[in-house]
């Protein structure tokens, strides 16, 4: 459903938020290692997230990425998905057809519409702070 960039973007934001809650800035190298993504690809993703105001970037020896707690409390996963993949996750056909809609449905259109709506609800109600807290407490992981 999500592009690889979007998957990495969500994982990166969760990791950065967890580090930020410990008053640490996360370096590009740390983020890439933690989420299992190539550094150059991770840099492009983080640049996009910074451009959308989801995280802050500081250059220099003490630089890195941070998400202020007040901001992390407000960020829902849908913001990250929208920043990277746009709204296609809510509209694309489950079978990948170009002309699938209510008037010209693919064989899975009706069932997939329900899944897309549930996914939209989950993304709009799942917060970054909640997920980063689960990570910090050891209740979840980002890479295996």
* 143 within some domain: no
* The pLDDT of residue 143: 77
Q: How many domains does the chain have?
A: 1
pLDDT of 57 over the 70 cut:
yes
Answer yes or no: pTM beyond 0.75: yes
**Domain coverage including residue 122:** 4-136
CATH number of the domain residue 33 falls in: 1.10.10.10
- Distance, in Å, from the CA atom of 82 to the CA atom of 71, rounded to the nearest integer, reads 17
pLDDT of residue 58: 92
What is the predicted pLDDT for the residue at 144? 60
Angle at CA of residue 54, ends 139 and 23, nearest 5°: 60
Averaged over 15-30, what is the pLDDT?
A: 95
Confidence of residue 142 (pLDDT cuts 50, 70, 90): confident
Residue 125 has pLDDT above 70, yes or no: yes
């Amino acid at each position: 459903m999500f592009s690889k960039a979007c998957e990495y973007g969500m994982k990166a934001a969760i990791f950065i938020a967890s580090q930020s809650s410990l008053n640490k800035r996360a370096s590009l190298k740390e983020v890439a290692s933690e989420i299992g993504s190539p550094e150059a690809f991770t840099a492009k993703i983080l640049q996009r997230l910074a451009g959308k105001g989801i995280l802050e970037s500081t250059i220099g020896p003490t630089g890195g990425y941070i998400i202020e707690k007040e901001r992390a409390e407000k960020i829902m996963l849908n913001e990250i998905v929208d920043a990277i993949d746009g709204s296609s996750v809510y509209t694309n056909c489950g079978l990948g057809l170009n002309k699938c809609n209510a008037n010209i449905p693919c064989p899975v259109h009706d069932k997939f519409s329900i899944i897309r709506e549930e996914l939209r609800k989950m993304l709009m109600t799942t917060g970054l702070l909640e997920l980063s807290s689960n990570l910090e407490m050891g209740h979840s992981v980002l890479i295996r």
